[in-house]
Amino acid sequence: IIGDIENVSMLKGAACTIESIDECRLIVIDSNVFLNWMKLYHGFSLNVARRLAERFYESSNENGKYMVYNSSYSLISTIINVVDNITGGKNGKIFNIRLKNTRKELGERIGLNERTINRLLQKLKNENLISINSGKIYISNTQFQKLKELKENLQMDRRKI
pLDDT, position 130: 95
pLDDT, position 18: 67
pLDDT, position 62: 60
Residues of the chain by 3-state class (helix, strand, coil), percent to 5: 60, 5, 30
The pTM score is: 0.56
pLDDT, position 16: 61
| CB 147 within 8 Å of CB 129 | yes
pLDDT, position 25: 84
Q: Low-confidence residues of the chain, pLDDT below 70?
A: 1, 11, 13-20, 59-69, 91-92, 157-161
